[in-house]
Amino acid sequence: MDLSNLTPAAGSVKTRKRVGRGAGSGLGGTSTRGHKGAKSRSGYSKKIGFEGGQMPIQRRLPKFGFKNVNRIDYKVVNLDVLESMASMGKEKITIADLREAGYVSKTSLVKILGKGTLTAKIEVEANAFSKSAEAAITAVGGSIVQL
């Protein structure tokens, strides 16, 4: 056996159906498209969501909810993250430090939440603080800077 006599297994490869290649092929004439109607024409494509004239689902279902244009999306950072950064010797933690450590992206606003415990006295800079986080930071003698 060598590369010159390799063939696929019997029945594993089918030949492509070549439609519209004359009456002798058995697939000429209407080229398996049936007779007349939009679907037999070239260039036909039905509208997205069209259900054959039946009321489409996006019109059958009621409107639901809304998007608040004034919503402010914060990237949250918990106290346990601040504790781990403080254990590395940081006394002041800024948004730039959090960005550098990979906790927040370049454009995101930062909110500090109160999950975890904090033992180090640190100064924290962020866009927003939860009440529990603020209380936990000030309880150990730290301070907050809200931007």
Give the end-to-end CA distance of the chain in Å, rounded to a whole number. 75
Per residue of the chain (147 residues), give pLDDT as tens: 789 999 999 999 999 999 999 999 999 999 999 999 999 999 999 899 999 899 999 999 999 999 999 999 999 999 999 999 999 888 899 999 999 999 999 999 999 999 999 998 999 999 999 999 999 999 999 999 998
pLDDT of residue 113: 95
Please give the domain boundaries of the chain with CATH numbers for all domains: 74-146 (3.100.10.10)
Cα gap 32→26, rounded to integer Å: 10
Secondary structure (DSSP) of 69-133: TT--PEEEEEHHHHHHHHTTT-SEE-HHHHHHTTSS-SS-EEEEE--S---S--EEEESEE-HHH
